[in-house]
Amino acid sequence: MEKYDKKAAELIERSYQTPEIVNQRLRTLAALALTRGESVLDAGCGTGLLLEQQALAVGREGRAEGVDFSDDMLAHARARCAGLEQVHLQQGSIETLPFDDASFDAVSCTQTLLYVDDLGRALREFYRVLKPRGRIALLETDWSGAIMNSHDQALTQRVFDAWDVALVNPNLPKRLRPLLAGLGFANQRVEAIPVLNASYAENSFSANMLQNFARTAHRSNIITAGEAEQWLDGIDRLIAEDAYFFCVNRFLFTAFK
């Protein structure tokens, strides 16, 4: 499993507070429809942005558990949720959840299954810890469908291709629905949540991720250092020309046990 370090955790902290990701989080919360006194698990809770909102929804009478593989991510989550007594955080893998069977009314997992070594095991763990009729909300991105205006579309495609190389489970949204059905999840619903930046803004998701896009492609040996610099320079030109455009689709899967 990919383990996010302090630098990556700080990038997630910034990029996941952008307006388009706030919208994604609100839609995930709406899909779970948590009520006071319920128990919820955020598997791969990251910096705790969703977990904080889940904790507020279930209230002090409820229980909000967060598990993440990265201690650096959890440091942000602990600071964010410090005043919420219903929140409990621990380091661990979502492939071996430290909870009893039928422990939760709801489970969420955002942008984490892409990185797990044993996808089937993680999904089985979600099913195991859910109560009967418990619900699940999974959100993943299909990077193969990402589009971006560019002066060099071939180079941009190579940059985005690097994300598939970096992932254990690329193109997961296309495969997730039958995997859930095979485990016994029912009443599935899938909705697309586009991350759309039709012009450049410093507080947008893509603006926060540009350096990471180029760095990942270079680290994966898909582009050279010179090509990474060329790509970023090209983006600066697009910004100056007011011709910036970025879009990628995320998909929210909800289902019941």
**3-state SS, one letter per residue, for 27-52:** HHHHHHCCCCCCEEEEECCCCCHHHH
Centre a 10 Å sphere on the Cβ of residue 149 and count the other Cβ atoms it contains.
16
Contacts of 73 (CB under 8 A, 6+ apart): 4, 9, 12, 45, 46, 47
Structure-block tokens of residue 68: 């993440």
216 by DSSP, 3-state: which?
A: helix
pTM of the predicted structure, to 2 decimals: 0.92
pLDDT in tens, the chain (257 residues): 445 567 766 777 787 888 899 999 999 999 999 999 999 999 999 999 999 999 999 999 999 999 999 999 999 999 999 999 999 999 999 999 999 999 999 999 999 999 999 999 999 999 999 999 999 999 999 888 899 999 999 999 999 988 878 889 988 999 999 999 999 999 999 999 999 999 999 888 999 889 889 999 999 999 999 999 999 999 999 999 999 999 999 999 999 99
**What CATH class has 6-256?**
alpha beta
- Provide the residue ranges of all domains of the chain, joining segments of one domain with +: 6-256
